[in-house]
């Protein structure tokens, strides 16, 4: 049995386009590089943020000026009055100020959403790669299972030919070999499924999803010490929670916008008039709106914005509880799988292999029967598969904790 161990260098996000020209070796770092550039959700959100940034200056409440021209006395011959009017309406300055602050908070919320999405994308890519590496290791174990049962079939047939055992033992060994070959085919299919899941996650184009792509990063045990208190302390700094905090801030500014509706809007007008016979005049006019129907308009808007602010408060609390639960579950899962791996590496792995070697020798010498050897081999293969299952779960838990700690631990 061969255990391959390959270390990986995790490439952090770069703003330059991902290099997809050479995919013969698709490491975790390269997969992340491609995902940051090609993932559809990331690119959608980037463009939404750009659109939101353009919304900020539009929130100042500066309307386009109006130009009017009027002429009276047409057809009278002796007298004609004409007038040019330029008018400009403005929201009360506080209204535009608070609206701008609200839009800036919304923009920052979306930027934090992008940060959270990148953290989630990193976890998704690493998790997909972990499942692929697990499928590859399982296929190696499936191949070893076939080799073991081939040796068993040959030994059983040899003993049957020599009359040392019945033909039934040889038939049973052959059936075990057939079952192992079927399992190997299933392991190959699992690799194919895991490959395409990884390709979908990173957004790799269809024509680049070739069969000659290799995956150098493998599963191997990396002992890491993750403190539960550190995980919980970092939660408040997680962009997913900070995003909801900015949503609250934006909602609070919207309440101030609604309250500023009690204040009058401003309208400015400039006149250029000609009353005929050389009577030319310039004039201006200043007007303010009177919020006479504040009981119907402004008061309802204020109450509406307050309710929306309370919605954001409850959303923040809901998200805080949810993210804490997920982090706690991830940490306890990490603790359990780490203990299981240490126990296996300390004693189970070595003893199960020794058991197979001893029973194989005993069977060849005629000291043990076929059923004893079969059970020993099944025990060895079962413990090996259990180890890979636990190692996969250990990786997945640590990767999930990376998202909350906002730092690389596995595949770095």
Cα 3 from chain centroid (whole Å): 31
The pLDDT value recorded for residue 166 is 64
Per-residue model confidence (pLDDT) at position 40? 85
Domains and CATH numbers, the chain: 28-60+93-261+295-405 (1.20.1600.10)
pLDDT (mean) for 91-114? 90
When comparing pLDDT for 109 and 293, which is higher?
A: 109
Task: Calculate mean pLDDT across residues 378-397.
Answer: 87
Query: Tell me: the pLDDT tens digits for 192-238?
Result: 999 999 999 998 888 888 888 888 888 888 888 999 999 999 998 99
Least confident of 146-160, 184-198, 216-230, 298-312: 146-160
Judged against a pLDDT cut of 60, whether residue 160 lies above it is answered with yes
- Residue 82 has which token pair? 């004409």
- With CA atoms as reference, report the closest residue to 238 among 323, 311, 317, 321: 323
* Torsional sign, CA 142, 143, 146, 151: negative
> Could you give the dihedral angle defined by the CA atoms of residues 359, 362, 368 and 370, in that order, rounded to the nearest 10 degrees?
60
Q: What is the DSSP string of 220-257?
A: --------HHHHHHHGGG-HHHHHHHHHHHHHHHHHHH
Q: CB 81: neighbour CB atoms within 10 A? A: 15
pLDDT of residue 14: 32
Neighbours of 110 (CB within 10 A): 21
Mean confidence (pLDDT) of the chain: 81
Q: State the pTM of this model.
A: 0.76
pLDDT at 133: 93
Token match 């180890």: residue?
387
pLDDT band of 257, cuts 50, 70, 90: confident
Give the residue with greater pLDDT, 18 vs 351: 351
With bands split at pLDDT 50, 70 and 90, how would you rate the model's confidence at 284? confident
Once rounded to an integer, what is the mean pLDDT over residues 284-305?
78
Phi-psi bin for 274: left (phi > 0), alpha (psi -120 to 50), beta?
beta
Q: Residues with Cβ < 8 Å from 301, sequence gap 6 or more? A: 258, 261
Alpha-carbon 294 to chain mean position: 46
SS3 39: coil
């Amino acid at each position: 049995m061969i255990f391959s161990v390959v270390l990986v260098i995790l490439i952090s996000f770069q703003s330059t386009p991902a290099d997809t020209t050479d995919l013969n070796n698709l490491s975790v770092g390269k997969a992340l590089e491609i995902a940051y550039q090609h993932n559809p959700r990331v690119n959608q959100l980037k463009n939404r943020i750009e659109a939101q940034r353009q919304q900020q200056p539009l929130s100042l409440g500066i309307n386009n000026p109006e130009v009017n021209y009027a002429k009276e006395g047409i057809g009278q011959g002796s007298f004609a009055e004409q007038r040019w009017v330029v008018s400009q309406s403005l929201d009360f300055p506080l209204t535009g100020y608070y609206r701008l602050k609200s839009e800036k908070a919304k923009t920052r919320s979306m930027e934090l959403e992008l940060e959270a999405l990148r953290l989630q994308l990193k976890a998704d890519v690493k998790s997909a790669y972990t499942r692929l590496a697990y499928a590859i290791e399982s296929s190696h174990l499936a191949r070893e299972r076939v080799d073991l049962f081939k040796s068993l079939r040959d030994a059983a047939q040899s003993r049957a030919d020599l009359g040392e055992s019945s033909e039934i033992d040889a038939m049973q060994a052959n059936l075990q070999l057939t079952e192992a070959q079927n399992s190997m085919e299933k392991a190959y299919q699992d690799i194919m499924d895991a490959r395409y899941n990884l390709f979908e996650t990173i957004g790799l184009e269809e024509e680049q999803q070739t069969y000659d792509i290799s995956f150098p990063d493998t599963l191997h045990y990396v002992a890491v010490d993750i403190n539960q208190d550190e995980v919980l302390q970092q939660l408040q700094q997680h962009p997913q929670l900070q995003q909801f905090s900015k949503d609250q801030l934006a909602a609070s500014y919207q309440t101030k916008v609604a309250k500023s509706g009690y204040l009058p809007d401003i309208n400015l007008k400039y006149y250029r008039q000609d009353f005929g016979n050389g009577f030319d005049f310039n004039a201006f006019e200043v007007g303010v709106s009177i919020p006479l129907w504040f009981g119907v308009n402004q008061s309802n808007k204020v109450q509406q914005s307050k309710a929306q602010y309370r919605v954001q408060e409850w959303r923040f609390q809901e998200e805080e509880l949810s993210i804490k639960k997920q982090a706690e579950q991830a940490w306890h899962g990490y603790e359990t799988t780490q203990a299981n791996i240490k126990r296996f590496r300390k004693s189970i792995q070595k003893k199960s292999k020794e058991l197979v070697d001893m029973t194989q020798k005993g069977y060849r010498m005629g000291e043990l029967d076929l059923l004893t050897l079969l059970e020993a081999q099944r025990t060895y293969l079962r413990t090996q598969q259990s180890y890979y299952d636990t190692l996969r779960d250990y990786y997945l838990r640590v990767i999930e904790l990376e998202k909350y700690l906002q730092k690389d631990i596995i595949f770095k």
